[in-house]
Amino acid sequence: MEIPKAYDSSQAEEHHYARWEASGFFAPEINQDPNAEAFSIVIPPPNVTGTLHMGHALQHTLMDVLTRWKRMLGYKTLFLVGVDHAGISTQLMVTRQLKKDEHKTPRDIGREVFTVKVWEWKNKYGGEITRQIRREGLSVDWTRERFTMEENLSRSVREVFVRLYEEGWIYRGTRIVNWCPKDKTVLSDLEVKEEKAKDGKLYYLRYPVKDGEKGREGDGETRSGEERNPQSAIRDPQSTITVATTRPETMLGDTAVAVHPEDERYKDLIGKTIALPLTGREIPIIADEYVESAFGTGAVKITPAHDTNDWEIGERHGLEKLIVMNDDATMNAAAGAAFAGLDRFAAREKVVEAFDKLGLLEKVEDYDVTLPHCERCKTIIEPLLSEQWFVKMNEMRDLALKLMREENSPRFFPEIPHKKVYTTWLENLRDWTISRQLWWGHQIPAWYDADRNIYVARTKEEAFEQAGTDKLTQDEDVLDTWFSSALWPFSTLGWTGEEVPSPKSQVPGSGDHNGVSKTGTRDSGTRDLDIFYPTDVLVTGRDIIFLWVSRMVMTGLKFMGERPFDDVIIHGTVLDKNGQRMSKTKNNGIDPLVVFEKYGVDATRMALAGSATGVDFAWRDERVESFRNFANKIWNATRFCLMNSEGASVQNSPPYEGGVAAASADGVVLPATASLADRWIVSRLNKTAKAVNRALETYQFHEAVQLLYHFFWDDFCDWYIELVKDEITSFDAGNEGLGDAEKNSPPVLGGVAAASADGVVRSAIRNPQSEARSRILTILEQALRLLHPFMPFLTEELWQKLPGVSNALHNSAYASSEQTIMLTTFPTGDDSLIDEQAESEMASVIELITKVRNIRAEMNIKSGDRLAIHIAGEMGMRIVFASNEAQIKKLARADNIVLTDSLDVPKASARAVLTGNAEIAVPLEGLIDFEKERARLQGQIEKLDVELQRLNAQLSNANFVEKAPKGKVDELRDRKGEIENQAATLRQNLEALN
RNA sequence: GCCGACUUAGCUCAGUGGUAGAGCACUCGCUUCACACGCGAUAGGUCACAAGUUCGAAUCUUGUAGUCGGCACCA
């Protein structure tokens, strides 16, 4: 078989995905086991306007690893994909295009036409992100793909809205809200980002007090007190009161000035009025505890319609709420003719100028101020009094808090700090503004009659019925995009009752749905909701814990009576190589698609999964490169096995002739005559499999990646392949005594034969070479399965090339499916195949070979020169070395191994000691540099001495010996003895050289 | 202002109450018939600093410094 020397990732990525998808492998219906447990994950729906970034790639990889892993374990898996309609972003995008193409605004064409345009846009460009998800190799079920604006989901939105309204949990109210003057919509608190202003100023404005003189008369004490007060300047003796503000333009809407009731400076002014400059209005001076005397001038201008705190004060004092701005943050008529139409910042300048002219501008100070910005368009938010729809959060919040308190759910990974942050946030939760002044989104199902009475209903007809008239107009606003996202785990699974999935999801040969609920009871014909809700785990970034995670928990508890997911994995943030957050403005983003192109999808997935769960990390191409190299290593190891696969095939639980008949779950069964290398690699494989499963159970993806990397590269490639290389490559050894006909006979343990339907083992002629070849193929095949969830493309590409693979290797739940590695059984590891003795013996062999190689390297022995190795040691070790003589000779490049009780070698030898009281010598007559050898031995002795000193110190500490666990003390004593022996031997060797 | 995380080899990062680990980079040697995206052998760290708990601390506690993040307030 001709196989290229290097792995070409793009070639493998080209065709497998299409086949997987077309064959229905991603759909849960592929699972034919009526008793299979369900496993489900919903994707955090990316914005329809979005393109793939590294954050997606990371979270998608983790979800796909889990899904593929569980699928291979036989779970009935659903990885549900879908896209969010992204109200503001999408509306902006289409508005921009409309302007460019037709020079029109949405208002020009009207709501209906505009909405049609958005749908057209969505159908044309909205597929970008889903194409990219395919590119990533995600095993999502496309037959169940969802979109938040589709009818099923919209119905859920209306249902939830109506029910919450009926319970009084949704209300319409007038509040100060976050207004984005550019997007012209209200935003929730979570969509507002606080940012430091570059050149913040604090303006001190003097307001003339009416009847000032009168108030002052007979109040000389206060005045003299002020003279000692350094802040006396703030209270003008000519009867003005100074207020400080960062937004002077809002003074046009002032309806009071507030001071602290206990503030001696102003006590006498409370109840008086101010002639508000530039407006001709008179406003009262009021007292309110809210005012902090120590801050600013201790007097606060009150603008109830443009500031949250002022609004509250206004409520308390029954102040007028004067709105002085339009929805685009220009001043309105109420601001006065001189200012109407001016932008808020132009108005600010003009107000300041006017005050200056009137001699009422006391001073302007530089001032550090953080201002709220629109998360999306970065425009400075204007707090504005407005009538909006809100969700009352008290009860919802309590549901979520109770779940956390009583059941520690959802479980966050990592738990610190997310559990606490989540809980604290809930405790301080305020009502959620859910209406948005947009056209793209779920229009609020509320209708008004001529008298502005509200009728909330699931349909227009229902509303008409309620109102007893059809003269109703629907609320213009749509709902916050996160409102529909909050329902995602159940709305996507058919909560409102329509049958899901759609017909095209029927997999050939899958028959009925095999609907099995999470509790395992068969309930054919039930909806996905019954089978897959609650979902198992949510994977997302920490930026949407509040926006999304918490709200799903609340709506899930409220409407399903059950949590939406058990676990929440919060992944880290991918930073650029300088540790900075990636952002469009910095233009320091790394495009996953470029990385895919350069290093392959699988290598990228490994690099992402290989980062510790929840921890931010700086992106390094070098890291992906190392996994690209790893992919190539796997490719070439497989290439090697295939080049030597004649007469062999992958085994699945084959009974070896004359060997152990018991089949392990993972299919690797050793013959009684198995070599050390075989027993060792099988042990390593099973240990690795166990550890990988354990790591994935606790979402330690990086741990699994490390385990697989080192198992495959170090154990399998560096040692096992090298150890068995001669055995499987030499064309004579294994086939000795066989005639030509027999050499060409079908594989003795070939997949076809071994997997024959009747299960009868063929009594064929044993062929040790074919067996060895089958063995390595079988180990390799198991390793590929372990790697598959992380590296789906490479493993499928290689697996399909292995001789003897078929759907007989599949998990029984997928027995009749077309052959693919993604439906094989995931190895879970078998304790009975973990062989500590083999591992310890192999460690000795490895140590021996490494020490000899070290001698070769340090003594500059040419690679072609063959050596003799003299080994003295206990019988047990000698037997191990003797039975692996051929391998040792090959890997240590020796032509002779002498095993003795004690060494008897020429002085001109290089020496080393092994663990377990063995020593070795390599005669180097004419090659040895005595000076070098002395230095080498000396170096080794010094290393041992350092450790010995530490051990002595510890063991001579009576407290340690007394209080430490006995096992620990014994361990150190053993270690000390070992080291003492080794050091003594090395010292003797060193002396012998002198 | 409140809360939190991080600080380990040149770089990027794992790890953890009981002999400090990986990848990359570095040094030396290899055209060894799967792979130079490779093979072999080395070198490299008082685990930010200080105090405490402990027989034992890089790991637990407290404090300090630096870096980063979340929340709140901001007249």
- DSSP strands (E only) in A124-232: 141-147, 170-180, 185-187, 192-196, 201-208
pLDDT value of position A537: 96
Query: C1' nearest to CA of A3: which nucleotide?
Result: B34
* Tokens at A505, concatenated: 């999801």
pLDDT value of position A466: 92
Residue nearest to nucleotide B40 (CA to C1'): A853
- Specify the amino acid at residue A254: D
Q: H or E segment at A916?
A: none
Residue nearest to nucleotide B14 (CA to C1'): A612
Do A399 and A563 touch, CB atoms closer than 8 A?
no
* CA-based nearest residue to A719, from A778, A679, A664, A668: A679
Residue nearest to nucleotide B70 (CA to C1'): A421
Query: Does the structure show a pLDDT above 60 at A938?
Result: yes
Does residue A965 approach strand B to less than 7 Å at its CB? yes
- Strand B-proximal residues of A, range 347-376, CB below 7 A, are 369-372
Query: C1' nearest to CA of A629: which nucleotide?
Result: B37
Query: Does the structure show a pLDDT above 80 at A500?
Result: no
Residue nearest to nucleotide B17 (CA to C1'): A964
Query: Does the structure show a pLDDT above 90 at A662?
Result: no
Q: H or E segment at A382?
A: strand A382-391
Give the Cβ contact number of residue A724 at 10 Å.
21
pLDDT band, residue A852 (cuts 50/70/90): very high
**Mean pLDDT for chain A overall:** 85
Q: How far apart are CA A144 and CA A503, in angstroms?
A: 10
Q: How far apart are CA A72 and CA A208, in angstroms?
A: 79
pLDDT value of position A365: 86
Q: Which of A211-220, A540-549, A775-784 has the lowest mean pLDDT?
A: A211-220
pLDDT value of position A262: 87
Q: How far apart are CA A944 and CA A912, in angstroms?
A: 13
Do A950 and A877 touch, CB atoms closer than 8 A?
no
pLDDT band, residue A214 (cuts 50/70/90): very low
Express each pLDDT in A677-708 by its tens digit: 999 999 999 999 999 999 999 999 999 999 99
In whole angstroms, B15 C1' to A959 CA is 28
Do A534 and A566 touch, CB atoms closer than 8 A?
yes
Query: Does the structure show a pLDDT above 60 at A219?
Result: no
Helix (H, G, I), strand (E, B) or coil at A637: helix
pLDDT value of position A231: 42
Q: Give me the mean pLDDT over the A744-759 stretch.
A: 36
Q: How far apart are CA A826 and CA A812, in angstroms?
A: 11
Query: C1' nearest to CA of A204: which nucleotide?
Result: B75
Query: Does the structure show a pLDDT above 50 at A191?
Result: yes
pLDDT band, residue A464 (cuts 50/70/90): very high
Selected residue with higher pLDDT from A191 and A497: A191
Query: Does the structure show a pLDDT above 90 at A527?
Result: no
In whole angstroms, B46 C1' to A942 CA is 19
Q: How far apart are CA A524 and CA A917, in angstroms?
A: 67
* Tokens at A992, concatenated: 């012998």
- Strand B-proximal residues of A, range 272-301, CB below 7 A, are 291-292, 295-301
Phi, psi of A413 (to 5 degrees): -125, 115
- DSSP strands (E only) in A612-651: 617-618
Does residue A722 approach strand B to less than 7 Å at its CB? yes
Helix (H, G, I), strand (E, B) or coil at A757: coil
In whole angstroms, B2 C1' to A558 CA is 31
Q: H or E segment at A316?
A: helix A308-317
Express each pLDDT in A328-385 by its tens digit: 999 999 988 899 999 999 999 999 999 999 888 988 888 878 889 888 888 899 999 9
Do A702 and A612 touch, CB atoms closer than 8 A?
yes
Q: Give me the mean pLDDT over the A913-929 stretch.
A: 87
Does residue A611 approach strand B to less than 7 Å at its CB? yes
CB-based burial label for A437 (10 Å; 0-12, 13-18, 19+): middle
Query: Does the structure show a pLDDT above 70 at A888?
Result: yes
pLDDT value of position A763: 39
Q: Which nucleotides of B are covered by protein (CB under 7 A)?
A: 3-5, 11-15, 18-19, 22-25, 28-43, 54-56, 67-75
- DSSP strands (E only) in A264-303: 273-276, 281-287, 299-302
pLDDT value of position A661: 35
pLDDT value of position A587: 82
* Tokens at A39, concatenated: 């496993």
Give A858-873 as a DSSP string.
Answer: HTT--TT--EEEEEE-
Residues in chain A: 994
C-alpha pair distances (Å), A35 with each of A67, A128, A203, A516, A666 = 18, 38, 72, 7, 21
Does residue A416 approach strand B to less than 7 Å at its CB? yes
- Strand B-proximal residues of A, range 547-576, CB below 7 A, are 575
Does residue A246 approach strand B to less than 7 Å at its CB? yes
Q: Which residue has the tokens 């507002």?
A: A192
Query: C1' nearest to CA of A310: which nucleotide?
Result: B75
* CA-based nearest residue to A982, from A908, A880, A911: A911
Q: Give me the mean pLDDT over the A54-77 stretch.
A: 96
pLDDT band, residue A757 (cuts 50/70/90): very low
Q: How far apart are CA A550 and CA A554, in angstroms?
A: 6
Does residue A902 approach strand B to less than 7 Å at its CB? no
Does residue A626 approach strand B to less than 7 Å at its CB? yes
pLDDT value of position A196: 80
pLDDT value of position A233: 40
Selected residue with higher pLDDT from A126 and A411: A411
Do A238 and A281 touch, CB atoms closer than 8 A?
no
Q: How far apart are CA A96 and CA A100, in angstroms?
A: 6
In whole angstroms, B30 C1' to A875 CA is 35
pLDDT band, residue A903 (cuts 50/70/90): confident
Q: How far apart are CA A37 and CA A521, in angstroms?
A: 10
pLDDT value of position A22: 95
Point out which residues pair with A257 in neighbouring strands.
Answer: A285, A301
In whole angstroms, B74 C1' to A851 CA is 69
In whole angstroms, B15 C1' to A715 CA is 21
Helix (H, G, I), strand (E, B) or coil at A912: strand
In whole angstroms, B4 C1' to A323 CA is 40
* CA-based nearest residue to A123, from A107, A147, A141: A147
Long-range contacts of A147-151 (CB under 8 A, 24+ apart): A147/A48, A147/A82, A147/A83, A147/A85, A147/A122, A148/A45, A148/A82, A148/A83, A148/A84, A148/A85, A148/A481, A148/A484, A148/A485, A148/A488, A149/A85, A149/A122, A149/A441, A149/A442, A149/A484
Does residue A639 approach strand B to less than 7 Å at its CB? yes
- Strand B-proximal residues of A, range 481-540, CB below 7 A, are none
Does residue A622 approach strand B to less than 7 Å at its CB? yes
Phi, psi of A447 (to 5 degrees): -125, 150
Give A336-361 as a DSSP string.
Answer: -TTTTT-BHHHHHHHHHHHHHHTT-E
Longest distance between any two alpha carbons in chain A, whole Å: 130
pLDDT value of position A750: 34
In whole angstroms, B47 C1' to A690 CA is 30
Q: How far apart are CA A242 and CA A259, in angstroms?
A: 11
Does residue A221 approach strand B to less than 7 Å at its CB? no
Highest mean pLDDT among A369-373, A404-408, A796-800: A796-800
Point out which residues pair with A205 in neighbouring strands.
Answer: A243, A361
pLDDT band, residue A306 (cuts 50/70/90): very high
pLDDT value of position A887: 93
Query: Does the structure show a pLDDT above 50 at A655?
Result: no
Express each pLDDT in A29-48 by its tens digit: 999 999 999 999 999 999 99
Q: How far apart are CA A266 and CA A287, in angstroms?
A: 9
Does residue A19 approach strand B to less than 7 Å at its CB? no
Does residue A956 approach strand B to less than 7 Å at its CB? no
Q: Give me the mean pLDDT over the A757-775 stretch.
A: 62
Q: Give me the mean pLDDT over the A313-332 stretch.
A: 91
Query: Does the structure show a pLDDT above 70 at A232?
Result: no
| CA torsion angle A364 A367 A370 A372 (round to 10) | 0
In whole angstroms, B17 C1' to A136 CA is 42
Phi, psi of A560 (to 5 degrees): -100, -15
pTM as predicted: 0.88
Q: Give me the mean pLDDT over the A854-869 stretch.
A: 89
Q: Which residue has the tokens 């004649």?
A: A646
